Amino acid sequence: MRNELVEALPMLRAFARSLSGNRDRADDLVQETVMRALANRDKFQEGTNLHAWLVTILRNQYYSEVRKRRREVEDAEGTHASRLSDIAGQPGHLELDDFLRAMRLLPDEQREALVLIGASGFSYEEAAEICGVRIGTVKSRVSRARARLEEIMNGGVTLPGGDSAEKSAHEIADAMRLRA
Amino acid sequence: MNNDDKDVKGAPPLPGPAMAPGRDSKEDWIGRQLRRVFDDALNEPLPDDIMSLLERIGEQPGAHTKSGE
């Protein structure tokens, strides 16, 4: 299993980073997932989709951390919004920065569906299995995510609570207008 | 005094079906950025701590980590 695991790591890491929006957190998630995968390797059925299995472990880990953090800190919005920009940082990444901040404004499960389908190359069927929902649910999450991103970029977003989130939505809209 | 040149220049390069370019390009934009974030991470070398974790595993094909007993 080790070689397959090594081969899967870049994909796993890219998924973690797209989902969490944070480099360090993504790497922690990958490391934790590797440990769990090895500890539970007897539960993996040979011949089934290892990538999907690993992504399932990783996203479960991510969501349990999200729930824990939510209980611990009610601060959410502000830190999250700034956190997604960690990835962008470098000059010439202005567009990307806007996108990452817009992504952060999506509900986790919509962002997840979008990344699974739009970037990771999983089928709707695989994504449904990974998320433990029906295919139709994945489809609707993806389309709601896209609609929401468009809405954010067009500036037509009303956000519940959190000045900073609202502010960043306005900034994104401004940036998009400048670019158009 | 020849208007033909002007007419040719002014002719629209793409005839035809109006296809809401704004909407299309925005949708592409989402897909492009998604893949860009993903691919950037995909192409980065893995951090050392993960690699050394895997090397430790490779040395112990018996599936036990050293804290095993």
Q: Would the CB atoms of B43 and A26 count as touching at under 8 Å?
A: no
User: A122 and A63 in one domain?
Assistant: no
What is the pLDDT confidence band of residue A174, given thresholds at 50, 70 and 90? confident
- pLDDT tens-place string over residues A40-59: 989 998 889 999 999 999 99
User: A94 and A68 in one domain?
Assistant: no
What is the pLDDT confidence band of residue B22, given thresholds at 50, 70 and 90? very low
Q: Would the CB atoms of B37 and A119 count as touching at under 8 Å?
A: yes
Q: B3 to chain A, minimum CA–CA distance in Å?
A: 33
Against a cut of 0.80, is the pTM above it? no
**Averaged pLDDT of chain A:** 84
Instruction: Give the one of A31, A100, A146 whose C-beta lies nearest to B50's C-beta.
Output: A31
Q: Is the pLDDT of residue B61 over 60?
A: no
Number of domains in chain A: 2
Looking at residue A55, what is its pLDDT? 98
Q: For residue A79, is it within any domain?
A: no
Cβ-contact A102, A172 below 8 angstroms: yes
Looking at residue B6, what is its pLDDT? 43
Instruction: Give the one of B35, B37, B50 whose C-beta lies nearest to A87's C-beta.
Output: B37
User: A128 and A55 in one domain?
Assistant: no
